[in-house]
Amino acid sequence: MKILHGPFTQILPLTDLPLKGALKDDQLQIIPDGGILVENGLISAVGSFETLRKQNLSEQINEIEGDSVLLPGFVDCHTHICFAGSRAKDYAMRIQGKSYLEIAKAGGGIWDSVTQTRAADEALLTKLLLKRIERHLAEGVTTIEVKSGYGLSVEQELKQLRAIKTASTQTKASLVATCLAAHMIPKDFNSGQSEYLEQILTNLLPVIKKENLANRVDIFIEESAFNAENAIIYLNKAKQMGFDITVHADQFTASGSKVAVNVGAVSADHLEASGDTEIKLLANSNTVAVTLPGASLGLGMPYAPARKLLDAGACLAIASDWNPGSAPMGDLLMQAAVMSAAEKLNTAEVFAGLTFRAAKALNLTGRGMLATGMKADLQVYPTNDYREILYHQGRLKPDRRLI
């Protein structure tokens, strides 16, 4: 059964835009008084509402009243929303000026979330995850990547990934799971980095493949986590097993993005510490540069050099990094809007970074723009001018979701 939705004051299909590099707002196609024809969750046609109505007289109409700007649903290509507990204590310490080390010594940091997540059973974890997914959906985010990484043992990582799989059957959002067993060396593991990674390769990744729990592998490359040398060995082996690779790169020190490009990762994420060399490397690669303004806001640190990355020719996506520690806010549109003011990203660049460029970071096709054959993940803003969306810096939310 086909349904014709409309008329929308404006439809922004986000088609015909390049995958990489800087954009201009006048490259944005705007369809006034638009309509969209949907069949079985896929887009059949996009165009003038009146024309589509005349061509489809026998089809059902979902009449849209009032001001309405239609966009493709957002793709959040980097989150850690499968967790239990809170790190409000860390946050309070951080805003009192305490360092990362002092917070870790006081029992905070990633390990605190591991402890709290391990204590939750799979059903509770699924419930907490679904609650966050529903919040994202209500805010127009229709595709959500979710990482493990708060289990850090074979059984506990599997518990997280199974919770993500179960949640995906209970929501209209599309979930993409990623194994982040290489988030840090667990404190209860009594050997070194390479032994830990070897153990993940031998005992965890084959089970993930067998149970079809994830097809992506992530690693945190940082002085406090894993070094570049061990990461390259790990990632190449994971790649040989058929996993897509993504990297937590250049968050505090530059080194991860080089590894990401070297192993052909689909994305290098964070990049707050990327310099000119890393920017050039990323721009000349097929690795998507994912910026995470939520982590900059949560940690009170500078943004990734988003403007420079775009000007150098990179494919730039924007994701929330929603997690209990460094990025507790989880409001993707607000974070993108706030970063765009500081970094001088125009609307076309922000919308591209939240949709088809973010889909590229997940190696997903068929979504992130409004065109025939694409997934009909639709969000509608109650305004007559698309520019109002960033102008309100995240406070203007979609009032309708059509999935």
Distance separating alpha carbons of residues 275 and 361, to the nearest angstrom: 21
In SS3 terms, 312-332 reads as HCCCEEECCCCCCCCCCCCCH
Residue 325 binds which one of Fe ion, ligand NIG, none, with CB within 5 to 8 A depending on kind? ligand NIG
Tokens linked to 301:
């640190």
Q: Which residue is nearest to ligand NIG (CB)?
A: 325
Cβ closest to Fe ion, residue 321 vs residue 377: 321
| DSSP state string for 6-44 | EEEEEE----S--SSS---GGG---EEEEEEEEETTEEE
Distance in Å, CB of 258 to ligand NIG, minimum: 17
Cβ closest to ligand NIG, residue 289 vs residue 390: 289
What sign does the dihedral 159-375-319-69 (CA atoms) show?
negative
Cβ closest to Fe ion, residue 77 vs residue 364: 77
Query: Which among 105, 106, 113 has a CA at the least distance from the CA of 80?
Result: 113
Give the SS3 label for residue 390.
helix
What distances in angstroms separate CA 88 from CA 103, 108, 292, 300, 330, one per listed residue? 12, 10, 20, 15, 14
Distance in Å, CB of 31 to ligand NIG, minimum: 37
Are the C-beta atoms of residues 387 and 104 closer than 8 Å to each other? no
Cβ closest to ligand NIG, residue 145 vs residue 377: 145
Distance in Å, CB of 327 to ligand NIG, minimum: 6
Distance in Å, CB of 268 to ligand NIG, minimum: 12
Cβ closest to ligand NIG, residue 184 vs residue 337: 184
Tell me the backbone φ, ψ of residue 292, rounded to 5 degrees.
-130, 75
Tokens 């065109």 locate to 371
Are the C-beta atoms of residues 257 and 248 closer than 8 Å to each other? no
> Can you give the binding site for ligand NIG, defined by CB under 6 A?
80, 110, 113, 220, 248, 251, 295, 321, 323-327
Side-chain half-sphere of 23: how many Cα atoms within 13 Å? 26
Distance in Å, CB of 84 to Fe ion, minimum: 17
> Can you give the binding site for Fe ion, defined by CB under 5 A?
321
Residue 110 binds which one of ligand NIG, Fe ion, none, with CB within 5 to 8 A depending on kind? ligand NIG
Query: Which among 201, 289, 209 has a CA at the least distance from the CA of 246?
Result: 289
Distance in Å, CB of 222 to Fe ion, minimum: 11
Residue 220 binds which one of ligand NIG, Fe ion, none, with CB within 5 to 8 A depending on kind? ligand NIG
Distance in Å, CB of 327 to Fe ion, minimum: 7
Distance separating alpha carbons of residues 212 and 234, to the nearest angstrom: 20
Residue 357 binds which one of ligand NIG, Fe ion, none, with CB within 5 to 8 A depending on kind? none
Cβ closest to Fe ion, residue 178 vs residue 285: 178
- In the DSSP assignment, the letter for residue 304 is P
Residue 380 binds which one of ligand NIG, Fe ion, none, with CB within 5 to 8 A depending on kind? none
Residue 251 binds which one of ligand NIG, Fe ion, none, with CB within 5 to 8 A depending on kind? ligand NIG
Cβ closest to ligand NIG, residue 295 vs residue 380: 295
Cβ closest to ligand NIG, residue 90 vs residue 139: 90
Distance separating alpha carbons of residues 113 and 118, to the nearest angstrom: 8
Distance in Å, CB of 213 to Fe ion, minimum: 19
Residue 377 binds which one of Fe ion, ligand NIG, none, with CB within 5 to 8 A depending on kind? none
Residue 343 binds which one of Fe ion, ligand NIG, none, with CB within 5 to 8 A depending on kind? none
Residue 324 binds which one of ligand NIG, Fe ion, none, with CB within 5 to 8 A depending on kind? ligand NIG
Distance in Å, CB of 303 to Fe ion, minimum: 15
Distance in Å, CB of 80 to ligand NIG, minimum: 6
- In the DSSP assignment, the letter for residue 370 is -
Cβ closest to ligand NIG, residue 94 vs residue 360: 94
Residue 398 binds which one of ligand NIG, Fe ion, none, with CB within 5 to 8 A depending on kind? none
Q: Which residues contact 208 (CB under 8 A, 6 or more apart)?
A: 158, 161, 179, 214
Are the C-beta atoms of residues 358 and 292 closer than 8 Å to each other? no
Cβ closest to ligand NIG, residue 299 vs residue 396: 299
